[in-house]
Amino acid sequence: MEDQLPREQFEKLLYGWYAKHGRDLPWRHTTDPYKIWVSEIMLQQTQVERVKEYYVRFLEKFPDLKALATASWEDVLDEWRGLGYYRRARNLHAAAQVIQKECGGVFPPEYRQLRDLPGIGSYTAAAISCFAFGDDMPAIDTNVEKVFAHVFEEAWKECKPAEKGAFVSNYIGEGKGAAFHHAIMDVGSALSAGQACPFHSRCEGIVVERKRKHKGLKGSLIRAAIGVLIHDGKVLIAKRKKGSLFGGYWEFPGGKLEEGEDERNCLKREMMEEMGIEVSVRPYFHRVESDNGYLMSFHRCSLLLGEPQAKESDEFCWVTPAQLSEYQFPPMNDEVISILQEKKAMFRV
């Protein structure tokens, strides 16, 4: 399929984002299939924040499968009341009784056995297998659909329903089923809330590549010059405007070379247009070919004239090398930030 993305790159973007933005949810601290099952049933058609309080209270009343199986329906209903969709609670109670009676109170580990229980569909069975029993099988819900459609676009849309499981499986590393699905769920939630996407560079890369193919520029790269403006031991960074690509992320000022322009003249122009300042530009100290089709050169700059202004950004600030780690940058800046933090001589006059 077109627009494939190497798993290693996918994992780097996904888990890097999740390490910073992943949600701390109570059911992520257990591998008990009973507790995971309860959370998955509650999460059907209900927002996460609402489920959290019910989940804790429900498990205090029914701490294990036997307690739920031997409880009366009225007691179960009392703890579920207000959560809605009461058929879920009836199926939960009924399935607990089946497991208690037919499986000796031991939660069945097999996907097919799980599917036979009341109220457990294909997604819920796969999720329990993944989170409780360490399976790497794909559990495709609306979040997985949302993220894969967002990242892979036509390649995902062209998949038949029976092919989607194999597509997702290509991106689940061995033994990483639970981590993968936790991260994907949170990315899907972030996308729904209009927050920054960890795959921005990938998404832009697809668009850029299609434009390059359309223009007959296959294999060519878009050149950009980026300015690392250092002054009084600090470096200038700017926050991209909301609604733009990487909106809300921080960056070093700069931009694309125009026809007939070299890197130094490009950066002088960009610094005036973006920040309203004149700078001197040194030869590049780092170059990177980004995932979105750009050849980016990073240049140390010095301030010659003017005071920086946020002309094409939401805001700007001066930060020390150590403080750079506190700001969220697009992934193509990672190596440059490491260089700035390791080579302190760059900040000496």
Q: Which residues are catalytic?
A: 40
Residues 206, 213: Cα–Cα separation, whole Å:
11
Nearest of 53, 62, 113 to residue 83 by alpha carbon: 53
In this structure, what are the phi and psi dihedrals at residue 319, rounded to the nearest 5 degrees?
Answer: -135, 155
C-alpha closest to that of 144 among 196, 182, 88: 182
CA distance 280 to 147: 43
Q: Which amino acid, one-letter code, is at 287?
A: R
Beta strand pairing call for 294-305 and 222-231: parallel
Burial class (CB in 10 A: 0-12, 13-18, 19+), 172: buried
End-to-end CA distance of the chain: 52
- Say which DSSP state 195 is in: P
Q: For residue 249, which amino acid is it?
A: Y
Neighbours of 349 (CB within 10 A): 7
Q: Scan for tokens 């209270």, then name that residue.
A: 57
Contact of 270 with 227, CB cutoff 8 Å: yes
Q: Are strands 250-251 and 278-289 parallel, antiparallel or unpaired?
A: unpaired
H-state helical runs in 224-296: 263-275
- Rounded Cα gap, residues 232 and 318, in angstroms: 9
Cα 161 vs. chain centroid, distance in angstroms? 24
Q: Distance between CA 271 and CA 248 in Å, rounded?
A: 20
Beta bridge pairs of residue 302? 280
